[in-house]
A = this chain, B = another copy of it.
Amino acid sequence: MNVSNIVIVGLGLIGGSLAKAFSKYTDCRVSGFDTDPATLEEALACGAIAKAGDADDLAHADIVYLCLYPEADIHFVSNHLSSFTKNTIVTDVCGIKMEVSRGLCQLAEKGGFTYCGSHPMAGTEKHGFSASRADLFKGASYILVPCGAPESVCELLRQTAFRLGFGRSVSTTPEHHDQLIAFTSQLPHALACAYVMSPRCPEHRGFSAGSYRDVSRVANINEVMWSELFLDNRTALTEELDIFLKNLTEIRDAVADNNHAHLETLLRKGRLIKEELGE
Contact = CB atoms under 8 A, between A and B. Distances in A.
Interface SS of A by simple majority: helix
A219 interface: yes
Given A183-B200, A206-B168, A207-B181, A215 B215 contact: yes
A149 to B, nearest CB: 19
Contact of A245 (B206, B245, B276, B279): B245
A209 B252 contact: no
A190 B121 contact: no
A180 B207 contact: yes
B251 A207 contact: no
Given A170-B207, A193-B251, A248-B241, A256 B271 contact: no
A188 to B, nearest CB: 4
Q: Quick one: which of A184, A223, A241, A266 has the most chain B CB within 10 A?
A: A184
Contacts of A182: 200
Contacts of A223: 264, 267-268, 270-271
A218 B211 contact: yes
